Amino acid sequence: MSAAFALSGLTAAVLLPSTALAIQPPDQLRGRGDLVLRSPSTKLPRADAAGDWLSALPGARGQALGRLQTELGGDALTRFDRDTGVLDTLIPNGFTVADASRSPAAAEAFARSFLARHLDLLAPGASASDFVQVSDVVHGGVRSIGFVQTHQGKAVIGGQISFAFKADRLVAVRSLALPTITTKSAGAAIDAAQAVAAARRWIADDFAAASLTSTRAEVSAVEGPMILPLLSGTGGGFGKLDYREVLAVDVRMDGGRDRLPGHWLVWVDARSGEVLARRSLIRWAELKFDVWQRSPVLGNRVQLPAKHLGLSIGGQPGATDAQGQFTVPGPGTNVDIGLEGAFARIFNDAGTVSSLSMPFDPGTSFTWDLSAADETDAQLNAYVHTQLVKDYVRLIDPDFEVPLTQTTVTVNIADICNAFADQDTLNFFSAGGGCENSALISDVIFHEYGHVVHTLGLIPGVGVFDGAISEGVSDYLSATMVNDPRVGVGFFFDQEPIRDLDPQGFEWHWPEDKGEVHDEGRIIGGTLWDLRQLLIAKYGAVEGVRESDHIWLSSIRRATDMPSMYVEALIANDDNGNLQDGTPDFCEINQAFAAHGLYTPPPGSSELTATKMQDGSLELILTVDDQVAACGNGDPAGLIRWRLRGDFGGPETPTASVAMVVNGPDSLRGVIPAPPEYRVIQYQVDSDFGNGAVVTRPFNIADPWYEHFASPVDEIWCTDFEGGNAGNWSLAGWEVGSPQGGSGDPSQAWSGTGVAGIALGSAG
Please, what sign has the CA dihedral across residues 692, 693, 698, 703? positive
Identify whether the C-beta of residue 553 lies closer than 8 Å to the C-beta of residue 457. yes
End-to-end CA distance of the chain: 78
The DSSP letter of residue 190 is P
The enclosing H or E element of 626 equals helix 626-629
How many residues in the chain? 764
Q: Does domain 51-82+85-175 have CATH number 3.40.50?
A: no
Give the pLDDT confidence score for residue 14 in this predicted structure: 23
pLDDT value at residue 727 = 63
CB under 8 Å to 183, separation ≥6 — which residues? 151, 227, 243, 244, 245
**What number is the average pLDDT over the span 715-738?**
73
Arithmetic mean of pLDDT, 48-57: 77
Backbone angles phi, psi at 676, to 5 degrees: -60, 155
- Greater pLDDT, 664 or 454: 454
Res 745 pLDDT > 60: yes
Q: Of 49-58, 538-547, 754-763, give the range with the top mean pLDDT.
A: 538-547
Taking the CA atoms of residue 213, residue 215, residue 217 and residue 219 in that order, the dihedral angle to the nearest 10 degrees is -40
C-alpha 470/C-alpha 451 separation (Å) is 6
pLDDT at 657: 94
Angstrom distance (rounded) from CA 722 to CA 359: 93
C-alpha to C-alpha distance for 425 and 408, rounded to whole angstroms: 5
Peptide bond into 698 cis (omega under 30): yes
Each domain of the chain, given as residue ranges in start order, spans: 1-23+287-446, 27-42+185-284, 51-82+85-175, 606-709, 714-764
- Which of 91-100, 488-497, 620-629 has the largest mean confidence? 91-100
Number of H helices, E strands in the chain: 12, 40
State which fold the 606-709 domain adopts: Immunoglobulin-like (2.60.40)
The candidate with the shortest Cα–Cα distance to 143, out of 91, 93, 105, 87, is: 105
Euclidean distance between CA atoms 208 and 284, whole angstroms: 18
Contact predicate 263/282, CB 8 Å: yes
Collapsed DSSP state (helix, strand, coil) of residue 610: strand
**Exposure string over 181-190, b if 16+ CB within 10 A, otherwise e:** bbbeeeeebb
Is the bond leading into 179 cis (omega within 30 degrees of zero)?
Answer: no
Three-state secondary-structure class, residue 187: coil
CA Rg, the chain, in Å?
A: 29
Task: Give burial (CB, 10 Å; 0-12/13-18/19+) of 315.
Answer: exposed
Alpha carbon distance 585, 562 (integer Å): 20
Asked if the model's pLDDT at residue 30 lies above 60, the reply is no
pLDDT computed for residue 101 by the predictor: 95
Which residues have CB under 8 Å from 324's CB, separation 6+? 4, 5, 6, 305, 306, 307, 309
Helix (H, G, I), strand (E, B) or coil at 20: coil
The residue-averaged pLDDT of 92-102 equals 95
Pairing of the two strands 425-430 and 407-416:
parallel
Give residue 367's pLDDT: 84
- Mean pLDDT for the stretch of residues 539-560: 96
pTM value? 0.78
- Rounded CA-CA distance 672/618 in Å is 5
Q: Can you give the pLDDT at residue 400? A: 93
Beta carbons of 44 and 230 less than 8 angstroms apart: yes
Task: Report which of 623, 703, 724, 603 is spatially closest to residue 665, judged by C-alpha positions.
Answer: 623
Residue 292 vs residue 99, higher pLDDT: 99
Mean pLDDT of 154-173: 95
pLDDT band at 137 (very low <50, low <70, confident <90, very high): very high
Q: How far is CA 389 from the centre of its chain?
A: 21
Q: Are 568 and 552 in contact (CB under 8 A)?
A: no
C-alpha span between 233 and 124 (Å, rounded):
22
* CATH architecture observed for domain 1-23+287-446: Roll (3.10)
The pLDDT score that the predictor gives to residue 128 is: 96
What pLDDT shows up at residue 444? 93
Q: Which residues are paired to 138 by β-bridges? A: 143
Question: What pLDDT is attached to residue 32?
Answer: 53
What does the alpha-carbon distance between residue 665 and residue 663 come to, in Å, rounded to a whole number? 7
Give helix 467-482 / helix 374-396 axis angle, nearest 10°.
100
**DSSP code, position 407:** E
Residue 478 and residue 499 in contact, taking contact as beta carbons nearer than 8 Å: no
User: What is the pLDDT, as a whole number, of residue 506?
Assistant: 87
CB atoms within 10 A of CB 436: 27
What percent of the chain is helix, strand and coil (3-state, nearest 5)?
Answer: 25, 30, 45
DSSP state of 432: B
Q: What is the predicted pLDDT for the residue at 20?
A: 22
Looking at per-residue pLDDT, the higher value among 203 and 353 belongs to 353
Q: What is the pLDDT of residue 682?
A: 95
